[in-house]
Amino acid sequence: MQHLLKTPTGIKGLDEITDGGLPKGRPTLICGGTGCGKTLLAMEFLVRGATQFNEAGVFMSFEEKPEELSSNFASLRFDLNDLIDQKLLSIDHVKLEPSEIEITGDYDLEGLLIRLDYAIDSIGAKRVVIDTLEVLFFGLNDEDLLRSELRRLFSFLKSKGVTAIITAEQGKKTFTRFGLEEYVADCVIFLSHSVSHQIATRRIRIVKYRGSAHGTSEYPFLIDEQGFSVIPISELTLDHPASNERISTGILRLDTMLGNKGYFRGSSVLVTGTSGTGKSSLAAHFVNASCARGERCIYFAFEESQNQIIRNMHSIGINLNQWVEQGLLKFQNTRSTLYGLEMHLVVMHKLIDEFKPSSVILDPISNLVETASKPEVKYMLSRLIDHLKTQEITALCIDLTSSKEEKEGTDINISSLMDTWLLLQIMQGSGERNRGLYILKSRGMAHSNQVREFILMDDGIQLRDVCIGSGGVLTGSDRDNQQAKDKAEYLESKQEIERKQREIERKKAMIEVQIASLQNQFEAEKEDLLRLINKEKLRNELLLQDQLDMSKLRQADPTPKSSNSSEGSYQ
Amino acid sequence: MSHPTHDTRQYLLRLYVAGQTPKSISAFANLKNICEEHLQGRYQIEVIDLLINPTLAKDEQIFALPTLIRKLPEPVIKIIGDLSNTERVLVGLDIKVLAPEHGLKNAQP
């Protein structure tokens, strides 16, 4: 089967959703209500054809004059006159004044075909725009004739082999007021302009594209000074790269808490907390660290102005202005209610693609809820985060939670999309409000389970260990109190130990003195006793000697018995 | 009613066609008849074939064919079709009809 040939439009995003462009050599119908951008899309098709693909184009206008078109598109930086001079563009204005038309019999629209034919041949056009055919219906008021003539017009366009865009007004129940979609069977594109929550969003949809794959969703589009851009945002493919590189959070102790290294590059970080918990300050630290590494960063702020943020961060010692001046930091401050959610997404995409940051801050995402319903916001954020992940851009999203709600939850239920989730919480007690920081989750890394007290100082955020007291975690002056109390108790017990040790020494000394005196006493008694013993011994000797002397005198036989007995008594 | 018999203006009429189609042939024939009847001696018809001069289609703002343009007398007037509806042609070209007096009287009962 022959592959359908396509003509690229060159319009940002449109070629992606049409899988390559409009059907080559065939007419495409673009329909939509007033002011939805039909003429712009059609003209940009020609201008991009001329400037990017060197294909000349013919613009047949039933509404605006060439001068009007030139000046309208000059504001979009399209120089139509220059293209006309280069023979890349030909504008033919068909003037149709119903009041001046007098019909006197049979006629056909051969004149139009001759004009188109001549215009196409004179510049060798490959692209044709007819904007808008309805004018013929109003001017000629003969539907039967017009229908047969339109059929002829479309077959003429096909025979010329030009890729054509026909614009048409939206009908009440049909895509076009006069059912032109019947004639253009190949490709029908519908532009809409819807308003919800008082916010207008432009959307584009490929209603029909015979023989080609195409996106079927409604895609938001943007018209700005660079023309038309469609963002094909359904990148829900989940095959984005996963970097192992770690980048600093800008706060040393937080890096330590996150496995000693910080966030993963290209991950999404959610910071939640009630108001005044220091979420933006945490983001500012991250911005500061990113820019200091020479990386680009975009700060999307939905609440505060650039100057306000810079001033506020100055008070905690962070100079963001220097990064703005060096072109590393870009602020995008828009009220979330300025335009619709899709539009925010488109603007973000565009800015991200232009500035090519390595990290972005969304402060706060909860504000986007004002513009749409929660599921829509979640859907949009998931698309944005997917887009950021495919580009390895680290995203830090700030979510303001209302204090009434569950702490470990987000207003928009987007926590499941996030890789790292930091919770900032007010810890109240002793008439004080102190900030605490927890890591609720951090995919793919070891992380601390500790609460840290989060203190905003002149020189930035400091994280401190908290005290675990009898009443739980203690912060602020409670913690200081607890620390003082602990110190006092420590001192006291130290003194007590010293005192006891001194007592031991004293007791020991006393006992030693007692031992010494007892020893002395013993020595003295021992001496006395020995002296008595000697005395007795001496006396016994003397007594024995006396007995011997006596028996000598008495001439008695020595008897051992008496000697023994005397010995026994002696003992 | 003014005096219709006093119209002495010269008519320059251009008939734009695309080749010798039945419509262009009948348009020319119808025009010729009308002119002979109402503008005898003071008209000139030019037939322009846009297949030969296509640029004129844009210059003269022509989209339907056949188209008749009254170049003179001024202002320029443009009418569309094969000119088969004579009354419409006369009105469109602002040609004063040489009507008999009684005809006008009948018109005012």
Site of tokens 């051992």: A560
Question: How close B81 comes to chain A (CA, Å)?
Answer: 4
Write the residue in B62, B83, B92 that is nearest to A111 by C-beta. B62
CATH number of A246-465: 3.40.50.300
B80 contacts A101? CB cut-off 8 A: yes
ipTM of the complex as predicted: 0.84
**pLDDT tens, residue by residue, A140-188:** 878 888 888 988 999 999 999 999 999 988 887 777 777 777 777 789 9
Q: How confident is the model at residue A119 (pLDDT cuts 50, 70, 90)?
A: very high
Q: What is the pLDDT of residue A232?
A: 63
Site of tokens 């007791």: A507
Q: Counting every residue, how long is chain A?
A: 571
Question: Which runs of consecutive H residues, i.e. helices, occur in A97-236?
Answer: 110-123, 134-140, 143-160
**pLDDT tens, residue by residue, A542-571:** 999 998 888 888 877 665 554 444 444 444
Q: Does B32 touch chain A (CB under 8 A)?
A: no
Q: What is the pLDDT of residue B1?
A: 44
Q: What is the pLDDT of residue B103?
A: 43
Question: How close B97 comes to chain A (CA, Å)?
Answer: 17
- Is residue A461's pLDDT more than 70? yes
Distance from C-alpha of A377 to C-alpha of A197, rounded to nearest angstrom: 14
Lowest mean pLDDT among A52-61, A202-211, A218-227: A218-227
Contacts of A491 (CB under 8 A, 6+ apart): none
Q: Does B27 touch chain A (CB under 8 A)?
A: yes
- Is residue A238's pLDDT more than 80? no
Residues of chain A whose beta carbon is less than 8 angstroms from a beta carbon of chain B are 92, 94-96, 100-112, 114-115, 117-119, 136, 140
Distance from C-alpha of A452 to C-alpha of A36, rounded to nearest angstrom: 53
Backbone angles phi, psi at B82, to 5 degrees: -85, 15
Lowest mean pLDDT among A198-212, A462-476, B19-33: A462-476
Name the nearest CA neighbour of A132 among A193, A185, A178.
A178
**pLDDT tens, residue by residue, A312-338:** 888 888 899 999 999 999 998 888 777
Examine residue A232 and say whether the peptide bond preceding it is cis (omega within 30 degrees of 0).
Answer: no
Sheet of B77-80: strands edge to edge? Answer: A102-103, B77-80, B67-72, B11-17, B43-49
Q: Does B63 touch chain A (CB under 8 A)?
A: yes
> Which conformational region is residue B61 in: left (phi greater than 0), alpha (psi within -120 to 50 degrees), or beta?
left
Classify residue A5 by its DSSP letter: P
For residues A192-215, average pLDDT:
79
Token reading at A399: 């979510």
Q: What is the pLDDT of residue A568?
A: 46
Q: What is the pLDDT of residue A485?
A: 83
- Is residue A524's pLDDT more than 70? yes
For residues A67-75, average pLDDT:
88
Chain A partners within 8 Å of B84 (Cβ) = 104-106
Distance from C-alpha of A81 to C-alpha of B87, rounded to nearest angstrom: 45
**pLDDT tens, residue by residue, B6-65:** 677 889 999 999 999 999 999 999 999 999 998 888 899 999 999 999 999 999 999 999
Q: What is the pLDDT of residue A488?
A: 86
- Is residue A259's pLDDT more than 90? no
To the nearest whole percent, how much of chain A has pLDDT over 90? 31
Q: Is A84 exposed, middle or buried (0-12, 13-18, 19+ CB in 10 A)?
A: middle
Same fold, A6-230 and A246-465: yes
- Is residue B98's pLDDT more than 70? no
- The whole-model pTM stands at 0.66
Lowest mean pLDDT among A94-98, A433-437, A474-478, A502-506: A474-478
Name the nearest CA neighbour of A166 among A350, A76, A290, A31.
A31
- Chains A and B form CB pairs within 8 A to the count of 92
- Is the CATH number 3.40.50.300 carried by domain A6-230? yes
Lowest mean pLDDT among A385-389, A423-427, B4-8, B75-79: B4-8
Per-domain residue ranges of chain A? 6-230, 246-465, 471-571
Chain B partners within 8 Å of A114 (Cβ) = 18, 50-51, 54, 57, 65
Contacts of A6 (CB under 8 A, 6+ apart): A18, A19, A20, A21, A22, A23, A24, A212
- Is residue B3's pLDDT more than 50? no
Distance from C-alpha of A436 to C-alpha of A427, rounded to nearest angstrom: 6
- Is residue A479's pLDDT more than 80? no
Q: What is the pLDDT of residue A333?
A: 85
Chain B partners within 8 Å of A92 (Cβ) = 58
Question: How close A53 comes to chain B (CA, Å)?
Answer: 27
DSSP track, A61-113? ESSS-HHHHHHHHHTTT--HHHHHHTTSEEEEE----GGG-EE-S--BSHHHH
Question: How close A93 comes to chain B (CA, Å)?
Answer: 8
Write the residue in A107, A119, A136 that is nearest to B81 by C-beta. A107
- Is residue A418's pLDDT more than 90? no
Helix orientation angle between A560-570 and A476-554, rounded to the nearest 10 degrees: 150
Question: What structural domains does chain B harbor?
Answer: 9-107 (3.40.30.10)
Question: Which runs of consecutive H residues, i.e. helices, occur in A266-400?
Answer: 279-292, 306-314, 321-325, 341-355, 374-390
